[in-house]
Amino acid sequence: MKAVVTVIGKDKPGIIAKVSAMLAENAVNIEDISQTILSGNFTMLMYTDISKSALPLAALGDGLKKLGEEIGVSIHIQHEDIFNAMHKI
Amino acid sequence: MLSKKEIFETIDMVAKEHLDVRTITMGVSLIPCIRESAKKTADACYDRICFFAKDIVKTAEDLEKEYGIPIVNKRVSITPASLLTANFPGQETVLARRLDEAAKEVGVDFLGGYSALVPKGMTSYEKSFIESIPEALAITDRVCSSVNVGSSKAGINLDAVALMGNIVKKTAERTRETDGFGCAKLVVFCNAVEDNPFMAGAFHGVGEAEKVINVGVSGPGVVHYALKNNPDADIAEIAEIIKKTAFKITRAGQLIATEASRRLQAEFGIVDLSLAPTPVMGDSVAHILEEIGLERVGTHGTTACLALLNDAVKKGGVMASSKVGGLSGAFIPVSEDYGMIEGARSGELTLNKLEAMTAVCSVGIDMVAIPGDTPDTTIAAIIADEAAIGMINNKTTAVRVIPVPGKGVGDFVEFGGLLGRAPVMAVQKASAEKFIRRGGKIPAPIHSNKN
């Protein structure tokens, strides 16, 4: 099962490290990653494989949300089907 | 592979443009719960609702987290209750109370289907049931009621229309301390649909399966935003933009509907292609019309813009969903739409203009506060006019007006939450009493003879 992680917020050192550490802890594999910084705003996209994840998607989302609150950015993880449904025929 | 632009478009729709799934509604057949007494029937209904719908809230919350799309309301609709209470006329509110308890037990915000369908005729037990509505809405918090008084096939039951004018008035009086809030939970329909997921008019028709999931999508903010980004588009391009946006919104609804049905082991009923506003800024159908080029909703041109919007939403949505149903169209509830509230307050949006608008959209005169001293025959006549528009145009129309006790034109009434706030709007002064008191049925229109 594939999921998309998005991180949006003010740039600071260690965002990628902290997010990827949490994903690694739960056996979530990052398949692709991209990030940009636009006038101080950090946006990151990760394609992940959560088939082997220790936690179900909803719980993983709760954990990432909490992490986001700690480091002051907004983090979401969403099943890729929502994007496929909305943007692919 | 998905592009970054596509992913952030979805993220922005949720974060900035109020994209959400407005409701997941589980329809439950309660026909097997009919017993010989009020208490036994009510208990059987309670048990069955609690059993069927026990996981609806948890499932919706899981889906919300997994797909990142807010699911605002979780609801239950039931078999029209007038069919369940035939054995115990006079004791219908025993069932109403138990339905309210069931709604609270499973955690849904509303339960719809305290309803009667009387477009062609009214039995004695249906009349007794309808007379129980004011009490039922006053003693319950989450039960919603609707009555179908006409159809394109059967015509309009003017006796039922007259009765409902009186029932609306009584419901307002009975809930006087909350500014007639009971009326916000009561809809009078023509051509009511059996698979509507939206409240207050949802019920689970007898032609439906045992347990069904119907989903209502939303997204006026998303459409508004898309139009804002194209300020110089001509009107055909506007229609195209709305279609494309409606497609995306509906696909999200379709995905949630399919997945919710699977997890709840229910049949996937329909996706209702709707633009349902909320009272918050940036989630208004009126603002879409104003973005198209009206200084204020309600002015000349409003009906044309709304017709275009409604049609484009359906065209975009139909391709996005495998099963379309419910009311499907743009909603124009006054108190629930920031722009409509402003339109009404400024005087541009009047009851008469709203009536014209209902000829081209879904559904009707919705969440409109009117003076508390409006005669019940005038309310009945408002219902008759709406029903006539529905009957002749083969569409669903409805009336949900609140004659606010003790308030008059210019006053404001606050319902709170998604039901919003509304200025009390003026009604026509001249009487329609003689027309309403004639009674009987308005015959079915010529185009009902299709066989």
ipTM: 0.89
User: Long-range CB contacts (< 8 A, 24+ apart) of B42-47?
Assistant: B42/B94, B42/B95, B42/B97, B42/B98, B42/B99, B43/B98, B45/B78, B45/B84, B45/B95, B45/B98, B45/B99, B45/B102, B46/B98, B46/B99, B46/B101, B46/B102, B46/B105
A6/B11 CB distance under 8 A: yes
Closest CA in chain A for residue B62? A58
In this prediction, what percent of chain A has a pLDDT beyond 90?
80
Residue B177 DSSP class: G
Residue A83: list chain B partners with CB under 8 A: 2, 6-7, 10
Report the domain count for chain A.
1
What residues contact residue B236 under an 8 Å CB cut-off, 6+ apart?
none
B7/A86 CB distance under 8 A: no
Task: Find the angle CA(B123)-CA(B206)-CA(B316) to the nearest 5 degrees.
Answer: 125
Residue B60: list chain A partners with CB under 8 A: none
Q: What's the confidence (pLDDT) of residue B2?
A: 82
pTM of the model: 0.93
Q: What's the confidence (pLDDT) of residue B196?
A: 95
- CATH number of the domain at A36, please: 3.30.70.260
Q: What's the confidence (pLDDT) of residue B412?
A: 94
Residue to substitute from B4, B11, B21, B248, interface A, most A β-carbons within 10 A: B11
Residue A85: list chain B partners with CB under 8 A: 251-252, 254-255
Whether the CB-CB separation of B340 and B349 falls below 8 Å is answered with yes
Q: What's the confidence (pLDDT) of residue B309?
A: 96
Q: Are strands B365-371 and A2-10 parallel, antiparallel or unpaired?
A: unpaired
Read off the tokens for B159: 């006796």
Quick one: which of B337, B345, B352, B233 has its CA closest to B302? B352
Closest CA–CA distance from residue B69 to any residue of chain A (Å):
8
**B9 interfacial to chain A (CB closer than 8 Å):** yes
| CB-closest option in A6, A61, A85 to B65 | A61
Closest CA in chain A for residue B15? A74
**B66 interfacial to chain A (CB closer than 8 Å):** yes
Give SS3 for B356.
helix
Q: What's the confidence (pLDDT) of residue B311?
A: 95
Phi-psi region of A88 (alpha: psi -120 to 50; beta: other; left: phi over 0): beta
Residue A87: list chain B partners with CB under 8 A: 2-3, 6, 9-10, 248
B213, B265, B358, B410 from B366: Cα distances, Å: 24, 33, 9, 18
Q: What's the confidence (pLDDT) of residue B41?
A: 98
Q: What's the confidence (pLDDT) of residue B418?
A: 83
B2/A83 CB distance under 8 A: yes
Q: What's the confidence (pLDDT) of residue B280?
A: 87
| CB-closest option in A78, A80, A85 to B254 | A85
Whether the CB-CB separation of B224 and B232 falls below 8 Å is answered with no
A83/B252 CB distance under 8 A: no
Local confidence pLDDT in tens for the 451 residues of chain B: 788 889 988 988 888 888 899 999 999 999 999 999 999 999 999 999 999 999 999 999 999 999 999 999 999 999 999 999 999 999 999 999 999 999 999 999 999 999 999 999 999 999 999 999 999 999 999 999 999 999 999 999 999 999 999 999 999 999 999 999 999 999 999 999 999 999 999 999 999 999 999 999 988 999 999 999 999 999 999 999 999 999 999 999 999 999 999 999 999 999 998 888 988 888 999 999 999 999 999 999 999 999 999 999 999 999 999 899 988 889 999 999 999 999 999 999 999 999 999 999 988 899 999 999 999 999 999 999 999 999 999 999 999 999 999 999 999 999 988 889 999 999 999 999 999 999 999 999 999 888 8
Closest CA in chain A for residue B256? A82
A80/B11 CB distance under 8 A: no
Quick one: which of B320, B329, B433 has its CA closest to B384? B433
**B251 interfacial to chain A (CB closer than 8 Å):** yes
Q: Inform me whether the pLDDT recorded for A12 exceeds 90.
A: no
Closest CA–CA distance from residue B112 to any residue of chain A (Å):
29
Rounded distance, CA B441 to CA B439, Å? 7
Q: Which CATH architecture has domain B1-289+299-329?
A: Alpha-Beta Barrel (3.20)
**B12 interfacial to chain A (CB closer than 8 Å):** no
Rounded distance, CA B443 to CA B144, Å? 29
Residue A84: list chain B partners with CB under 8 A: 2
B67/A81 CB distance under 8 A: yes
